[in-house]
Amino acid sequence: MTIKDTPEEWEIRATDTPFVGNKTSVRTDDVVMPDGSVVRRDYQVHPGSVGVLALDDQDRVLLIKQYRHPVRQKLWEIPAGLLDVPGENPLHAAQRELYEEAHVKAEDWRVLTDVYTTAGGCDEAVRIFLARNLSEAEGERFEVEDEEADLEHARVPVSELVRGVLAGELHNNCLVVGVLSLVAARAGDGLDALRPAGAAWPARPFEV
Q: Is 124 a catalytic residue?
A: no
Instruction: Find, among 158, 182, 183, 184, the residue nearest to 170 by Cα.
Output: 158
Distance CA 127, CA 91 (A): 9
Distance CA 128, CA 183 (A): 14
Catalytic residue among 124, 148, 152, 160: 148
- Largest distance between two CA atoms of the chain: 60
Instruction: Find, among 52, 51, 49, the residue nearest to 131 by Cα.
Output: 52
Q: Which residues of 123-134 are buried (b: 16+ CB within 10 A; e: fewer)?
A: bbbbbbbbbeeb
Distance CA 177, CA 1 (A): 25
Q: Quick check: 164 and 86 in contact, CB under 8 A?
A: no
SS3 160: helix
Cα 64 to the center of its chain, rounded Å: 14
Q: Quick check: 113 and 174 in contact, CB under 8 A?
A: no
> Which residues have a catalytic role annotated?
148
